[in-house]
Structure 1
């Protein structure tokens, strides 16, 4: 964190900052006191005053300070670096200065973040002059001679024949000037959302030190609507791509770019607190409960709103960790419970990855991870999709706790979205810790419509804010389920183990 952020942390943890939200502000939001209190905590963390809690921002630092102060008040023990609450990560932050940059293809200027989003890196060129070409899905047999060319590929979702084939690497090695993936049409449950907040990359400094830029190479994604402006064949191409059919190739004219990338070194911290266990024999079986505090911060305005508050993604579930800590008031379960609030999730799961690389609690002592992300209480809770349901005894506990509350559970019906690997449970699971995370499953036309509306209008957009139409009974039902599951895991008669042959591996 920047020095100003560290000052915020020090003041807030010492109790010199007044809370922003109160239970009174949420008095009409929910039907029961516990849910109203939870929403008041959510209100504080996701108000405009926190500016969307972007990784490395003063708004994130203020929110982290609030979390640490609440953990301290609840009787948790600091579990960060140096016997403190925080685990600080130095980041390199690369951001495209849109006002000082320009990209044209075939003489048509593309609007950054609304028609094209770039992924800045050490390899991003300051200037580009190259022929642009569309090469279908950019499979090995479609690429051909692309030396010196900007290559456009039909990007998402890609057909099965591309599984395991790294298009960017292949194009870079073939001497291409860059690659733009057409972000269309998206998956049925997760449509592509334009605009994007910004063209930006955030990576831990220790990774950038190891990285080699190599030859200049531009990378980004292209809006299908913008692609329609580049070639009269776009309509037929997009239709065929949506069906997974073979695609024709097309030349797109000359590409020209002038790009200004602003580099900063920032710091942002995980917040870590420990509720000690009551059974000394189980001190080496820590249950991790986690959520991410970071959001997108300030970005491309949508309907005049430039603050991406991240209320349900994921302030509400950091608030749920705070609420559980307060309810326990220092009273432990048999096993210790680590409350892990991560930074950098939206930029690449960096907070949880960093914790695994630099654990402040021995990795071998971690018995299970229950992660809260992707939880959207938009309609009644009847079925939970559980990532990690079949892999370990934690999934068995999830089933038992859910069934006792009249909640059905199911395995992921949309494995193509790869949600298991897209949340902070995954780095710990890779490191050998049994884990689980949750999604409210849809079950009828109304729930499917609300779920899709969320992804079309709110997910990673400013409209994920306090005006989101929450189903308060569903929120209360999930919150009670989570509390009961945490207790079941922390009080289980035996250590949670992987089922034979089910431990995940690889990236």
Structure 2
């Protein structure tokens, strides 16, 4: 990122038509107003969704760097600048044609595949095998197998299904994406199909290709036409975990793909607020949030721009807000601000950062990550990832309790959220880390709102500046975050793993 930083004023002008909070200044506090104005800049249409390596991402990164400079932080990137370039390689499916008999499956709408699975399959026969357990392997050799991706206890995992069908000689699996998994239902259409890796890593095509089938479209009808089976009934039975038949499909599947490779670069933005206590100079607290989003993708209701307002522009904005609140005034411990790229492509920015740290790893005491936060309903309960693993959990509990917020461990570990954001890169390196999700009581209105957002907003164009925000909840979390950073950065003792932690360095 060698270009000059753009003027923030210019970007504010570009965003002059962007959505602002509807509350009057008398009801929305100044800090929350300022936070949302920064969010508005970073997730406006002018930033084009901040896709990794895109011009829009570069513009947003330049804004972050300029704001950090104005707030009195020190650059911590390469050669004394704000940026740490992350070289990457991308493989993308640019064209796909998939047919069953004379019926076409629309790629990204009816069916999805990763570039690793995208190899030409010519005239492959198909068999439907229900849940694809070990009892349904006798007829799968040299065929594509339709499997329900049912995610229930006492059923095989998708990994188990892949292993079982592969060992039985199947050519690949067409997974029916499980609509019964209401905790985090499948979202269609997919924005695109790309695989991004850090430069130097090898792209490895799948030896056993897998596809995902949209249970909400007529994709299964097209696949099994002529079999005498009812696709809707099969999907309902599969979602409920009820017995399913095995049967041959009349027509064969043909698929061809066009792949494109390219090298891209996208920058982490790194800055430091020096500490005030020389004895704690080797105990830096790292604050992270990811700047990248999806960019442009498959249109939903005519909108093809995935702005990524809550994922994660709003919480990059919160780190900027913290820096501006401090205005160069340090805590006892140094604080490193790491705005990372490529999270949506596999935590690539934070992985690269941990391999190319600007300070010795032993001088990093802890990480607080901001992602997966949805201020859409009252903040009364906070899910804290790794709550009981480190002393950071104790600090979070203390700050939350003082504000009337209850805390809990992750009630939905099957979603694997702990490993799906950038705190995981720090945990894997043995560094205490923590992340948060707005919690809710089962059956509450808050749960309804949360589930609806994951059905309709997550990784879609609807995560934009027009969605309804609970401003009181947003302000409450922001205050919680400020309090937690102060408690950890000024604390008497260094953050540490707890004895017996399942995530600590002795139990990676």
Regarding TM over 0.5, the answer is yes
RMSD: 2.5
Query: Alpha-carbon deviation of 1:76?
Result: 1.4
Distance 1:176 1:350 in 2: 33
Residue 336 (structure 2) aligns with: 338
Q: Structure 2 stretches of 5 or more lacking a match?
A: none
The residue aligned with 2:35 is 38
CA distance in structure 2 between the aligned counterparts of 1:175 and 1:429, rounded to whole angstroms = 38
- 1:201 correspondence with 2:200: no
Secondary structure of the corresponding residue to residue 190 of structure 1: coil
Quote the residue 2:223 is aligned against.
230
**Structure 1 residue 51 corresponds to structure 2 residue 42:** no
Provide Cα deviations, 1:303-322, integer angstroms capped at 9, x if missing partner.
Answer: 11000000011100000001
Match of 1:400 among 398, 414, 422: 398
Return closer, same or farther for 1:47/1:495 CA change in 2, 3 Å cut-off: same
Q: Is the 1:370–1:435 Cα contact (8 Å) retained in structure 2?
A: yes
**Mapped partners of 1:44, 1:62: distance in 2:** 10
Match of residue 114 from structure 2: 119
Offset of 1:27 from its aligned partner?
Answer: 6.6
Distance 1:15 1:450 in 2: 34
Question: Which residue, 140, 149, 164 being the options, matches 2:143?
Answer: 149
CA distance 1:486–1:144, change in 2 (3 Å): farther
Query: Take 1:390 and 1:432, find their aligned partners in 2: how far apart are those partners?
Result: 15
Distance 1:467 1:429 in 2: 35
- Report if the CA contact (8 A) 2:105-2:222 is conserved: no
> How far did 1:124 drift?
2.7
* 1:375 corresponding residue in structure 2: 373
Question: Counterparts of 1:286 and 1:347 in 2: how far apart (Å)?
Answer: 27
* 3-state SS in 2 of match to 1:324: helix
TM-score after normalising by structure 1? 0.91
Give the direction of change, closer, same or farther, for the CA distance of 1:27–1:381 in structure 2 (3 Å limit). Answer: closer
Structure 1 Cα separation of the partners of residues 149 and 287 of structure 2: 35
SS of 1:377's partner is coil
Query: 1:154, 1:307 → 2: CA distance?
Result: 31
Give the TM-score of the pair, scaled to structure 2.
Answer: 0.90
- Say yes or no: does 1:328 pair with 2:326: yes
Equivalent pair of 2:150/2:241 in contact (CA under 8 Å): no
Residue 3 (structure 1) aligns with? none
Q: 1:160 to 1:292 in 2, by over 3 A?
A: farther
Q: CA deviation at 1:151?
A: 2.6
Residue 458, structure 1, aligned to residue 457, structure 2: yes
Q: Indicate the residue corresponding to 2:88 in structure 1.
A: 91
Q: How many residues end up aligned between the 2 structures?
A: 494
Structure 1 residue runs without a partner (length 5+): 1-5
1:219 aligns with 2:217: no
Distance verdict in 2 for CA 1:29–1:47, change over 3 Å? farther
Q: Which residue does 2:410 correspond to in 1? A: 412
Asked if 2 retains the 8 angstrom alpha-carbon contact of 1:189 and 1:452, the reply is yes
Contact kept in structure 1, 2:151 and 2:157, CA below 8 Å: no
Contact 2:90 2:264 in 1 (8 A): yes
Q: Is the 8 A contact 2:350 2:422 kept in 1?
A: yes
Q: Are 2:322 and 1:285 aligned?
A: no
Measured in 2, the distance between the counterparts of 1:324 and 1:22 equals: 24
Which residue in 1 is equivalent to 2:437?
A: 439
- Are 1:73 and 2:70 matched, yes or no? yes
Aligned to 1:130: 124
State the shift of 1:88 in Å. Answer: 1.6
Deviations 1:323-347 (A, max 9, x none): 1011111111111111111111111
Question: Is contact 2:11-2:41 (8 Å) kept?
Answer: no
- 1:74 positional shift: 1.1
